[in-house]
Amino acid sequence: MKRIYVKEEWCLGCHLCEYNCAFANSGMTDMVKALRGKEIYPRIQVETDENGVTYAVSCRHCTDPICVKSCIAGALSKKDGVIEIDHSKCVGCLTCVLVCPYGAVVEDGTGVAQKCELCMTNSHGTPQCVKGCPNGAIVFEERGEAE
């Protein structure tokens, strides 16, 4: 299955992926209208380690996802390898946020959880963070099964 992978060697820490993610999942057609003057809650986040190395983190769609197991409301599920979240079922307990070892599940600003669904559930159909990365640091490719 194709997943999003990050090549920190090429990450510039420009944070464009976060804005592209926020826009892609805003449901709007204009980035300015979607993001201007708003706090963004992207599902991919650029982190910086102690050496100043930057890299983007998003859901790895684990083979054996602990978030799905921990969800008390049955909002998280795995379909065709992609871990999806049903916002209508989420009760906002944020257990998933706590258990995810990668910090890839986050709160969406309204109290419920959100996570990367590879842009499969929005209107784009292909990951917009990958498409918008100016340096090829985020890729969407087949590399065999992840743990």
Partner 1 sequence: MNFYPEFEVVRNDSRCIRCRVCERQCANEVHWFDADGKVMLSDESKCVNCQRCVTLCPTRALKIVKSDCRLRENANYSDQTIKEIYRQAETGGVLLSSMGNPNPLPVYWDKILINASQVTNPPIDPLREPMETRVFLGKKPDHITRNPDGSLDTTLSPQLSLSMPVMFSAMSYGSISYNAHASLARAATELGICYNTGEGGLHEDFYKYGKNTIVQVASGRFGVHKDYLEAGAAIEIKMGQGAKPGIGGHLPGTKAVGDVAKTRMIPEGSDAISPAPHHDIYSIEDLRQLVYSLKEATEYRLPVIVKVAAVHNIAAIASGIARSGADIIAIDGFRGGTGAAPTRIRDNVGIPIELALAAVDQRLRDEGIRNNVSIICGGSVRSAADVVKAIALGADACYIATAACLAMGCHLCRSCHTGKCNWGIATQRPDLVKRLNPDIGSQRLVNLMTAWRHEIKELMGGMGINSIESLRGNRLMLRGVGLTEKELQILGISHAGE
Minimum distance from CB of 138 to partner 1 (Å)? 11
Minimum distance from CB of 97 to partner 1 (Å)? 24
Contact range with partner 1 by CB under 8 A, out of 19-27, 59-67, 102-110, 115-123: 19-27
Whole-angstrom distance, CA of residue 123 vs CA of residue 130: 15
Residue 134, interface with partner 1 (CB under 8 A)?
Answer: yes
61-to-30, 68, 91, 116, 135 alpha-carbon distances in Å: 29, 10, 21, 9, 23
Decide whether 32 or 147 has the Cβ nearer to partner 1. 32
Binding to partner 1 (CB under 8 A): which residues in 80-119? none
Q: What is the number of other CB atoms lying within 10 angstroms of the CB of residue 147?
A: 6
User: What mask of x and - would describe binding to partner 1 in positions 26 to 45, judged by CB under 8 A?
Assistant: -----xx--xx---------
Q: Please check whether residue 140 is in contact with residue 67, taking contact to mean a CB–CB distance below 8 angstroms.
A: no
Minimum distance from CB of 14 to partner 1 (Å)? 5
- How many amino acids of this chain bind partner 1 (CB under 8 A)? 20
- Amino acid of residue 109: G
Decide whether 42 or 65 has the Cβ nearer to partner 1. 42
Whole-angstrom distance, CA of residue 35 vs CA of residue 44: 16
Longest dimension (CA), the chain: 41
